[in-house]
Chain A
């Protein structure tokens, strides 16, 4: 399913360790919040899975839940990632939305 949500990636390599930061614009609704206007509960809407792959091979994956804040910033550290390698981040949420973003490690 297509999505209007932004996914931004930033990488920084220092001493052979690459810091990868991913920023996603996502409401991360828990399903417990009440809409102040309609007085009804806002349906849950949160990222469930996010995975990182380097040159097509999965290097990390994570299960996220409702405890994660709105517009989450998620970071991992990669050891020995070569410069020029393609890093792909994919996420999907409980409403079936998903997106992926690619970047080249500098």
Chain B
């Protein structure tokens, strides 16, 4: 009798959780954004694009952030990115020729699902693709070569700055895109590393708290809108994949390669979850 009862409870648990696993992206998005609305009822939706500075209890950080935003040091990197963007290739064309509308107001759709290649494409990949198309040397060895990665981050930052204020809009209509989305979602919720944290543990459950006393944790909503960003700790512009790598090593997990497919999928998932927020990249972060 006891066994049957136990069996029934297990069945009951299954019945309760199964609707969550088969939820479609649109429902996920609604639940995800509702979670933060419930957690921080005083924070207006658009403010999430400003990272953890918008959260209650972070007023001192916000004050400092506003002060160094008067003349943010990222302008040095951004100016280099602008120069790379505008310098013509050997064949006379420039980066603007590779993008619709000259690269303006299109970054809100990045990363996107490429139906022909059956892959998620990020802005970094498209910028590299543009170099390849025009017979120029690409940005390679991004894991080890810090200088090359920073140059790419600065270029990407300038690309995103051309779309500042546009609201994130990700097309997820094709089945392939949903599959990539599911991969990213799995990575987001999976626990990993020696500390056994999932992305969601820190950036959803513990969002708005100080981790280890001096590491304020951001809310997942609006994560991708600020990147490429300059962190005070780094003193340079960096790509979002580099942030993922450092995030992984902070929880003592093995980090993936810069530009690896799983990071693309994760970025795809995270960006979709920030749908409707204005782009603020490049931005200053702690």
Contacts and interface: CB of A to CB of B under 8 A. Distances in A.
Contacts of B76: 6, 8, 23, 25, 71
B14 interface: no
A21 B235 contact: no
Contact of B79 (A6, A10, A73): A6
B209 to A, nearest CB: 29
A63 to B, nearest CB: 22
Interface string B60-84: 0000000000110101100100000
B235 A73 contact: no
Interface string A20-44: 0101010000000000000000000
B140 to A, nearest CB: 19
Interface in B175-203: none
A100 to B, nearest CB: 17
Nearest to A25: B76
A77 interface: no
Interface of A: 6, 8, 10, 21, 23, 25, 70-71, 73
14 contacts: A6-B76, A6-B79, A8-B71, A8-B75, A8-B76, A8-B79, A10-B70, A21-B70, A23-B71, A23-B76, A70-B235, A71-B73, A71-B76, A73-B71
